[in-house]
Homo-oligomer: A and B are copies of this chain.
Amino acid sequence: MSAIICSVDVVLLTLEGGQLQVALLEREHEPFCGALALPGGFIHPDEDRDTEGAAVRVLRDKTGIVSPYLEQLGTFSGPGRDPRGWSLAVAYYALVPHAVIAASGRSEVVLRPASEVRGLPFDHSEIVRMALERVQSKSSYSSLPVYLCGESFTLPELQAVYEVVLGEPINKVSFRRKMEELGLLEPIEGKMSAGKAHRPAQLYRLRAKFRQKLALTDRGLNPG
């Protein structure tokens, strides 16, 4: 019985240029040296408390980012996905505001429109596709897209984020009602102003109890 190659891969998503983008890195080793791929790496049993720990470590080491939202996507396996042999990769996905990636100062990180990536090594293209599907699906009934915004944001901004993720326009009052009843947001006293030539909007932030918390379960942040 030959050994199984165990690794983790992370689909780091962000919003830029009006679309969801996935963070890719040029591979520094064989196989597929030089190709763009998801940040990933072997599990280190000596170091990692579990696969999520491995994902956190890999993401931090390769991109300098610690994402407040990180959730297991699924496990991909088989003899064909890695030329080195039968392999198993536990995939995670993370959502961060674009500013976090910019602030990481890692110029190696390359962003590509997530819905258009093709031809990635291993089965990374499929992993990205599945992450997109998951994000879209969860966004339709949860507050997931909040993690794509920064610390504070206005409701119209947040609505625009939802519309990009879901790929369809949302009714303004329905959106406000839904956000109201979910009760995840709290208004901040300051207002939006910065150079906009019109009425400023109320700033909101995620309530403390929902902030800074890794997704502990599948349904982590979905109240109700």
Chain A residues within CB distance 8 Å of chain B: 1-4, 6, 42-46, 49-51, 72, 74-79, 85-86, 88, 90, 130, 133-134, 137, 217-219
Protomer copies? 2
Report the Cα distance A3→B43, complex, angstroms: 10
**Which B residues lie within 8 Å of A217 (CB)?**
130, 133
Shortest C-beta distance, A132 to chain B (Å), equals 12
**Which B residues lie within 8 Å of A218 (CB)?**
74, 130, 133-134, 137
Report the Cα distance A185→B13, complex, angstroms: 38
Report the Cα distance A77→B79, complex, angstroms: 21
Given contacts A51-B75, A137-B219, 20 further A-B contacts (CB under 8 A): A1-B44, A1-B45, A3-B3, A4-B6, A4-B43, A4-B45, A6-B6, A50-B76, A50-B78, A51-B77, A51-B88, A72-B75, A74-B74, A74-B218, A75-B75, A77-B90, A130-B217, A130-B218, A133-B217, A133-B219
Contact A49 to B79, CB < 8 A, known contacts A4-B4, A6-B4, A74-B72: yes
> Which B-chain residue is minimally distant from A78 (CB atoms)?
B50
